[in-house]
Amino acid sequence: MTVSTLTNSIVYQGNGATTTFTFPFPAVAANYLDVTYTDASGNVTLLPKNQYSVFLNAPIAPNPTEIGGYITYPLTGTPIPIGTSLTIARNLPGTQATSLANQSTLYQAVIEAALDYVTMLTQQNSNLVENALLFPLSDPPGLGHTLPPVVQRSGQFVTFDGSGNVTVAIGVASGATISSFMQPFCNSANLTTAQSFLGINQAAQVPVGAEFDFVGYQAPQYYFMELGQEVSRTGYPELFNAMCPLYSTSYASGVVNITMPSRLDGLSSVTGIRIGTPVEGVGIPSGTSVINLGTSWINISNATTSSGTSIRLFPYNNGNGTSTFHLPDSRGLVVAGLDPQNATGRLTASTAGSVSGAAIGNYGGEQQHAITANEMYAHQHVLYPTDPGHTHTYSGAGSFNAAGGGGIGGAYASSGDTGVGYTGMLFGSSPGANDWNTTISGASWAHNNVQPTHVRLKIIYAGRATF
């Protein structure tokens, strides 16, 4: 046996001085050696064969195959520096050049050279296998070790599924990978497609814009506290479209009335729209708002300057008018349901300090209220009478004796009426008082309107952010 080495490659580290590099394995021919250069950054370059020279040792008889030699690199210029490396490797073509004629002489050197070549090919393949991805022989049978076709694996990473089968996945910024199963979800063009892949319908999820009472101190991920703050329109597009809907309609230039599209629920097309709601759209001047409502149209504060095909309403204000919008402000407030019919006996804003339930975004009410005279139930108060007693007088006097001299006589009034007399009765806030007032009651304090209350965070689901 003449192939006594088991390797077919060797690596040298650069030192800034060496230009001659030996190799201890057979090469068969100079053109069967490949030389690669690795720079300090790890970049690997296969050197053209005209940039280095090869010297092969002569075979030692009776062996037909040489063992070893050296290469010179670079042929001119600076030797490879520290931090770089040079790799010399044998790379035989997988061909068979030996031809044995029938009934001809079999030369031992020819047969041995052919066997040497086969042995070196075997070593070469073994080295490739050693540097390949291998699976333990103890793996269960039936695992998939074949990669998907190029169209399916292009731009993806090799990974393994939950059973250990080879597959590919999309890389993400955090360094994680996405399995082949989840790739249709991640590649979905929109939320509806992604939900369809996962078997989720709209009824089974939390809709964007849904409000909740939350017991924590901070809103969880994908939620906002309702503080009336401004939020980016492009940063939270799902919440923006849910809270500030875009209405398809048609209007001309110079109009102040815009027809609203009909609703699927059969309610009036202006249901829930609040007077004062900001309006945006093509040709609608900045600062425009709703100032009146018709049966199927809104009356806006500024005439349009051009025609348009859609408008957007902002129930809680439109932020800076271009890139933000406002969330609801639920600080210290309880929430009442919208009343599309504005039913009698419910929230109708018929009295001062009340609130109408007919429009989204309305608010009102009082924590305390001082009752006015008109708000009191009709009633009467008791007056206390007092009579101190009195006398009557008269004028004129005379005397007489009874007839017959009986000795009976007396005084009599000579004439006229008695003087005018009064009862002397007094009325007041207490017995004996003469102030003509009823007793004072109450202290004019406002009464408390707050029902027993437990405070929570009011949060709103914002959907996924785009940043």
Which residues does 90 contact at the CB level (< 8 Å), separation at least 6? 8, 9, 25, 26, 27, 28, 32, 33, 34, 120, 124
56 located within any domain: yes
**76 falls within a domain:** yes
| 122: enclosing H helix or E strand | helix 108-130
As a whole number, mean pLDDT of residues 430-437 equals 72
Same domain, yes or no: 13 and 120: yes
Q: How many domains does the chain have?
A: 3
Same-domain check for residues 60 and 162: no
Same domain as 232, residue 173: no
Q: Is residue 449, in this structure, part of any structural domain at all?
A: no
Q: How far apart are CA 29 and CA 261, in angstroms?
A: 84
- The residue range of the domain holding 126 is 9-97+107-130
Residue 92 structure tokens: 């035989």
Q: List the structure tokens of 138.
A: 């103890």
The pLDDT score that the predictor gives to residue 331 is 93
450, 456, 462, 467 alpha-carbon torsion, rounded to 10°: 130
pLDDT, mean of residues 94-104: 80
Q: DSSP class of residue 228?
A: S
User: Region 404-408: what's the mean pLDDT?
Assistant: 55
For residues 234 and 165, state if they share a domain: no
Strands (E), 237-342: 246-251, 257-259, 279-281, 290-293, 297-300, 308-313, 324-326
Most confident of 59-73, 183-197, 212-226: 212-226
Q: What is the pLDDT of residue 445?
A: 83
Please give the residue that has the higher pLDDT: either 388 or 369: 369
Exposed/middle/buried for residue 88 (C-beta within 10 Å: 0-12, 13-18, 19+): buried
Residue 286 has pLDDT above 70, yes or no: yes
- Confidence check: pLDDT of 421 > 60: no
- In the block, tokens 């129930």 appear at 315
Of 83-87, 375-379, 408-412, the poorest mean pLDDT is in 408-412
What integer pLDDT is reported at residue 101 of this predicted model?
79
272/310 same-domain check? yes
**What's residue 284's pLDDT?**
97
Q: Which of 180-189, 203-212, 413-422 has the lowest mean pLDDT?
A: 413-422
Q: Does residue 357 fall inside a structural domain? A: no
Would you mind telling me the total number of residues written for the chain in this entry? Answer: 467
Q: Residue 402: what pLDDT? A: 56
From 317, 344, 316, 320, select the one nearest 330 (Cα to Cα). 316
Regarding whether 315 and 254 lie in a shared domain, the answer is: yes
Whether 258 maps to a domain, the answer reads yes
The residues, ordered by sequence, that sit 6+ positions from 135 with a Cβ below 8 Å of its Cβ are 143, 145
pLDDT of residue 410: 61
Distance of alpha carbon 289 from alpha carbon 60, whole angstroms: 101
Mean pLDDT score of the chain: 84
462 inside domain: no
**CA-closest candidate to residue 112, choices 62, 67, 69:** 62
Clarify whether residues 64 and 150 are in a common domain.
no
Residue 120 sits in the same domain as residue 18: yes
Which residue blocks in 148-226 are alpha helix, DSSP H? 150-153, 183-186, 191-198
Percent of the chain with pLDDT over 70: 86
> Is 441 inside a domain boundary?
no
d(CA 109, CA 61): 10
| Amino acid identity, position 77 | G
What is the Cα Rg of the chain in Å?
53
Domain assignment of residue 464, yes or no:
no
Question: How far is residue 229's CA from residue 437's CA, in Å, rounded to a whole number?
Answer: 55
**Residues 258-273: what's their mean pLDDT?**
93
Domain boundary residue among 326, 353, 375?
A: 326
Q: What is the average pLDDT across 423-443? A: 71
DSSP letter for 331, please. Answer: T
Residue 35 sits in the same domain as residue 84: yes
